[in-house]
Structure 1
Amino acid sequence: MTAPADRARLEALYAQHAAAVHAYARRRTDAAAAEDAVAETFLVAWRRLDRVPAGDPLPWLFATARHVLANQRRGDARRAALSARLHAEPAPPRPASGVSEEGARLLHALAALSATDREALLLTAWEGLEPARAAAALGCTRATFNVRLHRARKRLAKALAHESPSGGASSTAPRESAPGVASARPADRRRPETASQETRR
């Protein structure tokens, strides 16, 4: 492939997928680091353009962005005071301003999960990837990813149960019929008899 053709392909990749890569990075780090991650991701794509899948490059770009973010965390002096786990794992999703109470509980529950569980959930729920594409982004088979996703959903449900505020159990008993409905039915059944009596008269 010639240099102009390479440049044209990279420009097309950027035009089509830069917003998705930025959203992926922004959900995992701050705004400045996300911008750097997008630039580095497409720089890697330029250097390894022959490895970028032609048909569906987005999972490859997400995988590259994930590695870029990991490298950022390891080399960022501002995160030196964080725990070793936070250095080794993607940062938990950060709540946007004005997030609802329910949304905050979800984010806290996600933060309590392992990096593997969290990434499986975010790739499908937030990035909108189908299991096959999410598996490609994580470098595993679809069957393996489906198992991870199933387990991650169960663990998220358990974490959400811990995050839910305590309160009285809501009644799940079926509602009774509205007043007058039940008493009206016998009267309805008597109407044909009354009509037949009037006919005999």
Structure 2
Amino acid sequence: MTEEETRRKRQARFERLAQVVVEPLHRYLLRRAGADLAEDVLSETMLVLWRRIDDVPGPGTGSAPDPVTEPDPDPSPDEVLPWCYGVARGCLANARRADGRRLRLVERLIRTQQRPPTGAADHSDHSDLHAALGALGALDREVVQLWAWEELAPRQIAEVTGLTSNAVSIRLHRAKRKLAAQLGRKDAERSGHKRDEGRSSQ
């Protein structure tokens, strides 16, 4: 295969990959970052995918069929998305590290200009859930979000995070118990029950 044919094949594979992963990656990033940052990181993620297109799992990896007589099949989301989520996660972490100081300054300025909320009515419907998620460790929160929002199985979450499937299952089980306990306490408080200072008598 000539260099030009190889380039065309890589371009065709990237275009097929982009059709499958752009929207899920955009949703993944929007759930973890503001719209502007999500757009920037999505662009960076797609650039990395283009540069590493030969490393992306799925059809077209390894020895290639003839691009005319044997075109690659479209990639399966189950094959490529966990790997691509891992790339997006790394790009987002890099962007946050690079932009951390500026973001912290902006957050401090915003806090000084905003008044604290006056009551529960100011909270969104999902404020308790977001607060409970925020109480988890960063990795546990990521595992829960990948499971609940991206609907990944533990083995796929393991591929995104670099953990083993068993470690993901354990973290997911413990995190769901913590979330249930915290949300249960919030429901009890809202219904008028006071929390005990020590161990519950019930």
TM-score by length of 1: 0.70
Deviation string 1:116-157 (CA, Å, 9 cap, x unpaired) is: 110111001001111111111111221111111111111212
1:17 aligns with 2:21: yes
1:129 partner SS:
coil
Equivalent in 28, 32, 43 of residue 36 of structure 2: 32
Residue of structure 2 equivalent to 1:93: none
Structure 1 residue 37: Cα displacement: 1.0
8 A Cα contact 1:109 1:163, kept in partner: no
- In structure 1, give the amino acid aligned to 2:183: L
Q: Partners of 2:192 and 2:30 in 1: how far apart? A: 38
Does 2:144 align with 1:121? yes
Aligned to 1:81: 105
Aligned length: 154
Counterpart mapping for 1:1-201 below 5 A: 2-54=6-58, 56-76=79-99, 77-81=101-105, 100-101=124-125, 103-164=126-187, 165-168=189-192
* Contact 1:112/1:159, CA 8 A, preserved across alignment: no
Whose Rg is larger? Answer: 1
Q: 2:146 is aligned with what amino acid?
A: L
RMSD over equivalenced CA pairs, Å: 2.2
| Change in CA separation of 1:6 and 1:71 when aligned onto 2, cut-off 3 Å | same
Letter in 2 for 1:148: R
Distance 1:71 1:148 in 2: 24
Change in 2 beyond 3 A, CA 1:99/1:12: farther
Instruction: Give aligned-pair identity as a percent.
Output: 41
* Long gaps (5+) in structure 1: 84-97, 170-201
Match of 2:61 in 1: none
- Structure 1 runs, 4 residues or longer, greater than 3 Å off: 80-83, 161-166
Unaligned runs of 5+ in 2: 59-75, 108-121, 194-202
Deviation at 1:81, TM superposition (A): 3.4
